[in-house]
Structure 1
């Protein structure tokens, strides 16, 4: 049976005060290789260990153990990246979304980061450390207007960096009057464990990793030879790796028996690494569920002045952007290595109509939600609350930050 697609009229009706609470999109997934395959959930740091996140959820008619395959933060990052990818491909709707860009100058040319890529959006440290027209960004009137937004009027953010209004943001380092916005869009993927017996989460599969060097299984060099190799690559090695190798060279140089004092070259990628088992490998799931929730109730907390028609048009615009984000994120089921999934059935899209009533809609597609977003952009323009034409707020990145950036994990 055919289903209706969500229209702008549906959004307008439900972002008015007293409208429905949420729009949801729920999809049953399964391992791409079949039910016999295990999947790699998200890993989290607990002290010095990597762990999976387990919890009890109400599945069907009983409480069951589940594992978090993809977290809220990760799912939102995928949605943001999908929108940014659409802009890069020149999609008509995506290119109209206003954004802020911080540009770092490097020896290989300029490198750009948008407010959809940085974790605190327009209030991220990379923006706060930047400059506009040669002056600190905090002296720029346009940026000060963004930081001074209040619940009564978010117009400056809507027309400069709307990602903050949909995905959430926090001006966390400001001493007072911090802008705090919860995310109106939430997503996650969970897996219901195949093994529901007590202690199942402690009996997870372990996976091995190794490296094979086709030239030599082991490469151990005299200190002076190792030092020569390390010095040649010093500008390419991370500070931690460089220090570790130089400490090993210094220790070998001090050894009493110079003939047998050698340094392993594994730290610069030479030689094999024997297979070893990690505690966190993969899990078997009897069911995998992806959920998206777009909170219309959250959008209704946003105001853009005292004109309620403008408020409604702005909220409908953000709702359309949220649906477009869901559609784009759902289009590419790319999670991580050893976590290849496919859809078992079409997403079930539902609008809450209050008092227990729900209205089903057809699955969200990029083509439909692009058109919906374009209509919402035009509607907001007519209402005089937003004019999205792909405008960019450009910020020059602080050169000292990029000069001292490394790929090493934070301590």
Structure 2
């Protein structure tokens, strides 16, 4: 069944709980091919037992794409549609294209972590005025579920994907909007595998060809004379130790060249074939652990980054209409909102969520060695009356964008704002901060803020 604007508006105006889309996938290499999930702190995969809806039994599952990651993919899918002129959306943009920056880039409200409330926009200027002090920026100060009109016109995706204005003047008391669109991809019957790593150096550089030293400029040299000098005037090896300290080299006291002076620190030389273990930032192998009978954590075995084979992958996307119904959209500084205006805004937001969820399904290449292919056509189910089979609607990307376009037109006809692209420029202090960070990165001295 096709989904038109009237059907969508009726669903939003009624008592339906949500739209739901469940899509099954296999790896592009086939059911027996291995997939590599995202890794978390310490090289861990996110695994858990879940109930298989097909059998009702517990199954070992692995998270292939989290809610946060799926949200980012949906936002980027909308951004690509906007860039291709397939849809018109309000967009906040700040351009880091100043001559002083070695690396130039652009950040939009569909890319920034906190969307329109991101610190990058807070620290940017609109026509020479701090964004949060401008007329557009002050929208965030007044926004809440009872008055989402300004935010609808400035950044409607914030009302679909959620927002917390924690970087603004009110800090943690800033505007909060619940996420209406949620999606994740899970792999069922996850069996951990083994992965190997190796490298053959065509130049056949041996570790005994070192030591390599660090110069004052941070480059490398084989000359102890040209090397940076440490304690006692001794040359400093190229790589610091695990504590970030310089390692000096004394030929008389060092029978073997320490690891910090091997050519491998420059990515030269062979890498002996080995199991791909999870390692920390200091290249130390991480271990699976357990709590023993004394309550102490003990190592069990090395943690292997070997991916998984799975029986199937399932993507579940839900769009909560209940969340959208809580939003009010008063016009012209009125205290109360008009029901028809509320309905037009909520319907447009629902269409925006459906479009985002549909567009993101065009590309399910999640990361290296985790490319999925759908088992069949996706359909959105409308969860309306309990106990009844949900109505199903087929939406391809073009149909989803057409639906969004007519919903936007209806919202604008109801008097709701719908901005275009708003161009900001980063404040001089922000440009300087970015420049310093880029300089440190180019010197290999980067560290999380």
For Structure 1 versus Structure 2, the TM-score category normalised by the shorter chain is 0.7 to 0.9
Is the counterpart of residue 145 in structure 1 residue 175 in structure 2?
Answer: no
Structure 1: stretches of 5+ with no match in the other structure: 196-203, 235-242
Please, what TM-score do these two structures have when normalized by structure 1?
A: 0.84
Of structures 1 and 2, the larger Rg is shown by 2
Q: Which residue of 2 aligns with 1:298?
A: 323
Q: 1:272 to 1:177 in 2, by over 3 A?
A: same
Q: Which residue of 1 aligns with 2:433?
A: 401
Q: Which residue of 2 aligns with 1:198?
A: none
Q: Distance in 1 between matches of 2:342 and 2:328?
A: 6
Q: Distance in 1 between matches of 2:361 and 2:237?
A: 43
Is the counterpart of residue 286 in structure 1 residue 320 in structure 2?
Answer: no
Answer whether contact 1:52 1:280 (CA < 8 A) is retained. no
Alignment root-mean-square deviation, CA: 2.8
**Structure 1, 352-361 or 122-131: larger mean CA deviation:** 352-361
Q: Distance in 1 between matches of 2:47 and 2:190?
A: 16
Counting only pairs closer than 5 Å after superposition, residues 146-185 of structure 1 correspond to structure 2 as 146-173=140-167, 174-175=170-171, 177-185=173-181
SS at match of 1:404: helix
Identify which of 3, 12, 16 aligns with 1:15.
12
**Structure 1, 247-256 or 103-112: larger mean CA deviation:** 247-256
Q: Distance in 1 between matches of 2:237 and 2:345?
A: 54
Q: CA deviation at 1:43?
A: 2.0
Q: Which residue of 1 aligns with 2:350?
A: 319
Q: Distance in 2 between matches of 1:43 and 1:281?
A: 11
Runs of 4+ that moved beyond 6 A: none
Q: Which residue of 1 aligns with 2:193?
A: 205
Q: CA deviation at 1:245?
A: 3.4
Matched positions, count: 384
Q: CA deviation at 1:53?
A: 2.6
Q: Distance in 2 between matches of 1:334 and 1:233?
A: 38
Answer whether contact 1:100 1:395 (CA < 8 A) is retained. no
Q: Which residue of 1 aligns with 2:285?
A: none
Q: Spell out, residue by residue over 1:86-121, the C-alpha distance to the aligned partner (whole angstroms, 9 max, x if none).
A: 222x2331xx10011122235357421111111111
Counting only pairs closer than 5 Å after superposition, residues 7-406 of structure 1 correspond to structure 2 as 7-16=4-13, 18-45=14-41, 48-65=42-59, 66-88=61-83, 90-93=84-87, 96-104=88-96, 105=98, 107-108=101-102, 110-173=104-167, 174-175=170-171, 177-193=173-189, 204-219=192-207, 226-228=213-215, 231-232=218-219, 245=238, 247=240, 250-257=246-253, 261=257, 263-277=261-275, 278=277, 279-305=304-330, 306-388=337-419, 390-396=420-426, 398-405=430-437
Q: CA deviation at 1:132?
A: 2.9
Q: Spell out, residue by residue over 1:324-375, the C-alpha distance to the aligned partner (whole angstroms, 9 max, x if none).
A: 1111100112111111211112223211122333443343211101111110
Q: 1:410 to 1:355 in 2, by over 3 A?
A: same
